[in-house]
Amino acid sequence: MITGIGTAFPGVFDQQSLWDEVFDRRYRGDRMARRIFMGCGVRTRHGVVDPRREDISGWSTATRMLRYVEDAHPLGLQAARAALTDAGLNAADVGLFVVVSCTGYSTPGLDIQLARELGMSAQVRRLLIGHMGCYAAIPGMGTAADFVRARRQPALVLCVELTSLHIQPDTPERDLEQVVAHALFGDAAAAIVLQPDAEHGLDVIDTTAVTAPASEELMTWHVTDHGFRMGLSAKVPVVLANHVEEATAALLDPFELKRADIQGWAVHPGGPRIVDVVEERLGLDRAQTAATRQILSSRGNCSSATVLLVVEQLRDGLDIGGTAIAMAFGPGLTLCMALLRRR
């Protein structure tokens, strides 16, 4: 059961000033680039790198990874401590510590560094989930829930994503996929605590995953000499539309639940068109995706951390016994979902 949620964010900047001060010049006043940048549903977002103040587009991947270590540590520490406090749990009692990130790597990793600084036991089990992209919080949550049920010990899941470290070098040609990537993504850390036998919280009833056949090239995250480069095909919403109904039914059918039984929808805000597609295919109205759109507007797409930000928004609004679905999408093309029930 999820008993605590904590979040942390670096500095904030607004979308309009980013375009005016950085990307208008970068894209040479291109009208299509401006329409994409200003029409992605983001109004403010966060980043450890503010491109208005610091141009890292020419940095090597090695330099970016050094910066990741420097900035991910305090952000992850803040979110983890907040989740533990929210749950009323001592870090020394955590049996499994799961760290999720696709935006940076180091060894010894964040899992080792933060476990020590948080005061976890030397016997704590650690799991690092890397490079799975935006949906990775769901398998992290599912693994932790299975551990809690089997071992009767608490678990902590931490997602830390610093997408601002991966702004790409300028190119002579207009690359609309990179316009989308530079417009949409923000930085965040989000953590959840799961405990056995808790009286109140969100039960993780089940998790599922569905991967669309032959869709690997539609969403990519390639390691290059200048950081990680996003590939995001315009076909993603179409493929998602073809699978989201079936994937949702696969999650609900074993529990004899229908979509109408679901009180809360924590949809990953992958972009406005993706949210539109989920609404259309699942018959949701704007009120049911309001939390998703609010996170998209105020935080942007923060990769794996984002769906937990939406869950946090929904948690207190669920009735006792009310159910919610958390869903996220990422490379594969993969749809991951979790069925939650408030107690």
Amino acid, res. 310? V
As to burial, measured by CB atoms within 10 angstroms (0-12 exposed, 13-18 middle, 19+ buried), residue 123 is exposed
Cα–Cα distance between 23 and 29 in angstroms, integer?
8
Cα–Cα distance between 6 and 193 in angstroms, integer?
9
The CA distances from residue 235 to 31, 182, 228, 238, in Å, are 22, 19, 21, 5
Contact of 324 with 307, CB cutoff 8 Å:
no
Catalytic residue among 134, 159, 302, 336: 134
Sign of the four-CA dihedral 272, 28, 174, 181: negative
Identify which of 183, 170, 243, 168 has the alpha carbon closest to the alpha carbon of residue 209.
243
Q: Residue 244: helix, strand or coil by DSSP?
A: helix
Cα–Cα distance between 4 and 82 in angstroms, integer?
8
Cα–Cα distance between 274 and 171 in angstroms, integer?
27
Q: Look at strands 125-130 and 96-101 and give their pairing.
A: parallel
Contact of 135 with 334, CB cutoff 8 Å:
yes
Taking CA 194 as the corner, what is the angle to CA 260 and CA 163, rounded to the nearest 5 degrees?
85
Residue 25: partners with Cβ closer than 8 Å, 6 or more residues away: none
> Quick check: is 134 catalytic?
yes
Other Cβ atoms within 10 Å of 53 Cβ, number: 10
Amino acid, res. 246? E
Identify which of 235, 185, 179 has the alpha carbon closest to the alpha carbon of residue 36.
179
Q: So which residues are the catalytic ones?
A: 134
